[in-house]
A and B are shown apart, each in its own frame.
Chain A
Amino acid sequence: MSIHRCWVYGDNVNTDVIFPGKYTYTLKTPEEIAAHALEDLDTTFAANVRHGDVIVAGQNWGCGSSREQGVTAPKYAGVDIIIAASFSRIYFRNCINQGVLPIVCPNLNTLVQTGDTIEIDITNGQIHAAGQTFTFPRLSPSVQAILDAGGLVPMLQRRFAGEN
């Protein structure tokens, strides 16, 4: 069980507002990328986010561009868990590959507000928030294995270290 502070957003938030396209080939370091996280969605986010905070969003979070900084920008800013009513499919995969846990939980973003705290029990697949308990579905074993390895890069590093 862990306690997290929430940043709450609505439906259909796209990757252009999470990390603007004009930066995709010029900003490279984690610090630079984190400084622009959610820039055109919430100007208060990058300056105030703390390690362990979570994003709680509506449906189709992360639609639009496939740019991976949509995940790495909030991750480098301290977000390891993103909860949404649903995820855009590329964004969902980018989360897994970056070792960020995507949790599908309908309606939570309508019950909590930015600054509220929630409890997440990853082992039992439960969220305690707004006086209620929500259960979330488990990932398939092969997908969970990527997340458990810390992401796709660490997983493949092990595989190629074994071959060389």
Chain B
Amino acid sequence: MSGKTFVEKALARAAGVSEASAGDILDVRPDMIFSHDNSAAIRRIFEKIGAKNMARPDRIAITLDHAVPAPTTQHAQNHAEIREWIKQQSIQHFFEVGRGICHQVISEEALILPGEVILGADSHSTHFGWLGAFGAGVGRTEMAALWATGELWLRVPEAMRVTLTGRLQPGVTAKDISLRILGDRGVEGGLYRSVEFAGDTLSTLSLDERPVLPNVMAEFGAKNAYMPPDEVVFNYLEARRTRDYTPLYPDPDAHYEVEYALDVSQLEPQIALPHQPDNVVRLSDAIGEPVQQAFIGTCTNGRLEDLQAAADVLRGHQVACRLVVIPASSQVLLEAARSGIIETLLMAGATIATPGCGPCMGNHMGIPAPNEATISSANRNFKGRMGTPEAPVYLASPYVVAASAICGVIADPREFLS
């Protein structure tokens, strides 16, 4: 009998059973659940269900991030309904407009820890694999059910192992790795699987870079993603956490249905062309394509190191197209302001907006006109994603986005890095 994958161990633990195997259906009690601007809609479903109180109000986080500050009266009304609900239900972990994007804020607040299970009403909940946690997205109705009952059925998925070896070249990042994986295996390549990362590359990735891999695995169809937590993660959590935890690691003889391996040492910068995140080519094959807007931010690439990367490229240059920079959280913005990164970005002609999701899904703060191309550090470029189906979106690392902003066409950042 083979050993257990991470996901088999994590879901067994959260279901309170001694062991589980792929294919089992378990009633899982997550350690944390969260939602965002969709919480007003979830509240309406919760009330329809007929439940009176939340099962575990201390284990619920709500972040206003998807359209902040409110761009319209309707959005403001939506936020107002959520604030009223927060007071009524005594929800402790509430994060106001400007605090940041749910995945980033929950990480900074250490509301989820290695070995734990978190379910979010957001598809990029795979993000929390960077902490060695099980994170998966659910719909609004399931979040209302979780508020009411504190548990949800989950099928234990089969697993895929992604082994990364070697060290990245300067100017090449975890974003390029994730795009290469999508390009090689397609947006259905990880469908319904637990994507579990391994290999010596992982420990060479910085704190800010790590979340990129599990975050983008949402575009791979993954149920969840996992990175083995190490001292870097433990140190990050130490001053922030409020409870103890036990990290989980897959057994050496665990069964992986699919294996994928990538030597990243010779990897070049990558770019996803419109209109699908797996429409990936080497950056060198897209050089010179005109862009009218560049966007750096989102849960994928809006952390301090991403803004630093942009500043490293932009220092001493001026942008040739609009550059919108949106830090992933107030903490990122504060550190970027203190360290001079914001000044460098402003001097180069960037505009800085309130921490949140920004224009990523077409709500506000950088919606392109029809036939205007955007190069973005986000994770999705589906047709119409940024507001209109006539506006093509390219996906790349913050380095590539910044270099393209200088040139007004897709450009190689390595020419600007000395």
Contacts and interface: CB of A to CB of B under 8 A. Distances in A.
Interface of A: 11-12, 14, 16-17, 20-22, 24-26, 28, 39-40, 59-60, 63-68, 71, 86, 88-90, 93-94, 97-98, 140, 142-143, 151-153, 156-157, 160-161, 164
A22 B368 CA distance: 13
Closest 5 CB pairs of A and B: A21-B361, A160-B50, A16-B382, A40-B384, A22-B362
Contacts of B142: 93, 97, 152
A44 to B, nearest CB: 15
B187 A12 contact: yes
Given A97-B139, A160-B49, 17 more contacts: A11-B188, A20-B384, A66-B122, A68-B139, A90-B137, A93-B138, A94-B139, A140-B25, A151-B141, A153-B45, A153-B49, A153-B141, A156-B51, A157-B48, A157-B49, A160-B51, A164-B52
A20 B174 CA distance: 28
B362 to A, nearest CB: 4
A24 B192 contact: no
Nearest to B75: A25
B188 A86 contact: yes
Contacts of B37: 25
B49 A156 contact: yes
B383 A22 contact: no
Contacts of B25: 140, 142-143
Contacts of A66: 121-123, 137-139
A60 B188 contact: yes
Max chain B Cβ within 10 angstroms of own Cβ: one of A40, A68, A86, A98: A68
B139 A16 contact: no
B72 A89 contact: no
Contacts of B123: 64-66, 90
B380 A64 contact: yes
Contacts of A93: 138-139, 142
B145 A152 contact: yes
Contacts of B144: 153
Interface string B387-412: 10100000000000000000000000
B387 to A, nearest CB: 6
Max chain B Cβ within 10 angstroms of own Cβ: one of A12, A25, A143, A152: A25
A12 B188 contact: yes
Nearest to B188: A60
Contact of A89 (B141, B145, B191, B363): B191
A61 B137 CA distance: 16
A52 B367 CA distance: 37
B191 A21 contact: no
Given A22-B361, A66-B139, A86 B191 contact: yes
Given A63-B188, A156-B145, A14 B382 contact: yes
A152 B37 CA distance: 22
Nearest to B154: A93
B223 interface: yes
Contacts of B78: 25
A135 B67 CA distance: 44
A36 to B, nearest CB: 11
A152 B46 CA distance: 11
A22 B365 CA distance: 12
Contact of A164 (B50, B66, B148): B50
Contacts of A97: 139, 141-142
Max chain B Cβ within 10 angstroms of own Cβ: one of A26, A71, A90: A90
B276 A12 contact: yes
Contacts of A59: 188, 191
A153 B385 contact: no
20 contacts: A14-B382, A16-B380, A24-B66, A25-B37, A25-B75, A26-B72, A60-B188, A63-B188, A63-B221, A64-B219, A66-B123, A66-B139, A68-B139, A89-B191, A97-B141, A142-B25, A152-B141, A152-B145, A153-B48, A153-B141
Interface in B166-210: 186-188, 191-192
A87 to B, nearest CB: 9
Given A66-B121, A93-B139, A157-B49, A16 B74 contact: no
B153 interface: yes
B384 A16 contact: yes
Contact of B361 (A65, A88, A94, A151): A65
A26 B382 CA distance: 21
Contacts of A71: 139
Contacts of B383: 16-17, 40
Contact of B139 (A14, A40, A90, A143): A90
B38 interface: yes
Nearest to B155: A140
Max chain A Cβ within 10 angstroms of own Cβ: one of B121, B153, B382, B385: B382
A21 B362 contact: yes
Contact of B362 (A20, A160, A161): A20
Contacts of A142: 25, 153
